[in-house]
Each structure stands twice: as structure tokens, then as C-alpha cells.
């Protein structure tokens, strides 16, 4: 019996909590999301219809600015970066037919885009984009409005189709420290 007690003592010491050793390991998890902007409704059309004034007076055949000014269309987009920007580029409405003296084949205008309470605009009178504006992080409507319609000489409009466009660019600008 004595031998049994002597053998039991070392076994009891091995199971004792004072001799147990524990250790922890850590797995870190990381990832990233790139700054991004996306139009979920990337294109719309503003159909202006007949652009010339009707009638028989001195303005008949000239640009009806009411057909252009105040016209709107809504794109839908988002940017996931607080430093995102918006830029507008507008190109004049043109008719490829040659304009004789007293006639115009070009209609200029200003286009303004509003998103997340930010306004960016551009006039078709000058080439290139308008000033870049901060738009920040947002999701929702980008409303494009036309205004300030004019022709180069206030002449009669050449018959035919007129086309132009407004390009709204959203960019996830990364602010460097």
C-alpha cells in the first residue's frame, strides 16, 4: 500500500494546476476598400424638340431659349470617399450643316450638376471642363440642369439635327497627408 501512495503522489503533481502552462495566439485580420465612384444610372437624354421660335415676327426662326433653359435630367451615382470630386464638361449643340451669313449652326449653354449639395458647372463657350468641385461621400441623384442658352450671332438656326452632350465626372480623390 505504501508503494501505491508513493506512486500516486507524482501522478497527482502532474495534474496540478500550478504546473499547467497556457498560451494564446492572435490572428490579425485586415483588408481595405479602394476609393471609388460609380454611376448606377450613367446616361439620360434631354430631348429639346423644335429649337427655333415659330411665328412671323423678327424672332421667328431664331433660338427659343425656353426650349433649353431650365431643362433637367437626373443621373444616379455614389462615391465612397470623403475627398471625392465632381467635374462637368459640356459641348455645344451643333448641326453639321454649313451656316450662311445670318444663320447659326451652334447653340451654347451652361450645364450645372448638383450632387450632395455640391454644384459643378461648365459652359460650352470654352473648351474643356469646368472647375472641379468637392462632392464628398454620397449616394443619390446627380441633377443636371441647362441654362444660359445662346447662339454666336443671334441668327436664324440652320435646319437639321443638333447634338451635344454633358459629361459629369465623379472621382474618388485621395487626399495625401
For the cut 80, the answer to whether the pLDDT of residue 34 exceeds it is yes
From residue 89, alpha-carbon distances to 122, 131, 167 in Å are: 6, 9, 5
CATH 2.60.40 for domain 38-171: no
The model scores a pTM over 0.85: no
More confident position, 77 or 6: 77
What burial letters (b/e) apply to 72-82, b meaning 16+ CB within 10 Å? ebebebbbebe
Domain ranges (residues) in the chain: 38-171
**pLDDT exceeds 80 at position 89:** yes
Indicate if the pLDDT at residue 10 is higher than 60: no
- pLDDT tens for residues 110-169? 999 999 999 999 999 999 999 999 999 999 999 999 999 999 999 999 999 999 999 999
For the cut 80, the answer to whether the pLDDT of residue 12 exceeds it is no
Amino acid at each position: 500500500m505504501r508503494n501505491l501512495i508513493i506512486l500516486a503522489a507524482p501522478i497527482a503533481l502532474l495534474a496540478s494546476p500550478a504546473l499547467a502552462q497556457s498560451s494564446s495566439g492572435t490572428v490579425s485580420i485586415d483588408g481595405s476598400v479602394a476609393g471609388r465612384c460609380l454611376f448606377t444610372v450613367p446616361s439620360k437624354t434631354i430631348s429639346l424638340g423644335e429649337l427655333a421660335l415659330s411665328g412671323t415676327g423678327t424672332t421667328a426662326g431664331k433660338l427659343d431659349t425656353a426650349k433649353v433653359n431650365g431643362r433637367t435630367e437626373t443621373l444616379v451615382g455614389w462615391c465612397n470617399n470623403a475627398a471625392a470630386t465632381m467635374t462637368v464638361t459640356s459641348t455645344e449643340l451643333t448641326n453639321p450643316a454649313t451656316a450662311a451669313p445670318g444663320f447659326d449652326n451652334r447653340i451654347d449653354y451652361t450645364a450645372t450638376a448638383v450632387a450632395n449639395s455640391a454644384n459643378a458647372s461648365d459652359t460650352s463657350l470654352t473648351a474643356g471642363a469646368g472647375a472641379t468641385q468637392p462632392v464628398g461621400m454620397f449616394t443619390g441623384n446627380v441633377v443636371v440642369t441647362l441654362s444660359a442658352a445662346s447662339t454666336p450671332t443671334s441668327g436664324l438656326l440652320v435646319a437639321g439635327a443638333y447634338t451635344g452632350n454633358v459629361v459629369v465626372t465623379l472621382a474618388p480623390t485621395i487626399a495625401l497627408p
